[in-house]
Amino acid sequence: MNLRAEAEKLEKYWTPRVMGQINNQYVKVAKVKGELAWHKHDHEDEMFLVLKGRLRIEFEGRPPVELAEGDFHIVPRDVMHNPVAEEECLIALFEPATTKHTGEAVIDRTVPIEEQLA
């Protein structure tokens, strides 16, 4: 499977799709543009891998991380963050199956895991 090709097929921004599972970890792809929302995952680390474009991950109280194509960054559990893409960006996410899309923050773009698995 080609993660970038699968992400290209997505029609909606900020709507991750599960592509596979390794033990209790999901491999997801998403097409993103703009910003998602400030949120955190209390018990799960989350890895972002840029497949195409650029992604900025903003953090409370520290400088943002800028990612280019091929770069990855792990956001530790319990860290407030906000992913932002000025232009369309394709990403892969690696995270525990228990990870909620926007943590405990529920916004209009929050996608439940049942939809991510569809």
Distance CA 97, CA 113 (A): 9
Q: For residue 60, what pLDDT is reported?
A: 94
Q: For residue 22, what pLDDT is reported?
A: 95
Q: For residue 17, what pLDDT is reported?
A: 96
Q: For residue 100, what pLDDT is reported?
A: 80
Averages of pLDDT over each 10 residues, the chain, 118 residues: 97 95 96 94 96 98 97 97 98 92 77 82
Domain boundaries, the chain: 3-117
Total-model pTM = 0.91
For the domain with range 3-117, which CATH number is right: 3.30.2130.10, 1.10.3720.10, 2.130.10.10, 2.60.120.10?
A: 2.60.120.10
26 to 59, 88, 99: CA distances (angstroms): 23, 23, 9
Report the 10 Å Cβ neighbour count for 108: 6
Q: For residue 2, what pLDDT is reported?
A: 97
Token pair for 117:
């698995």
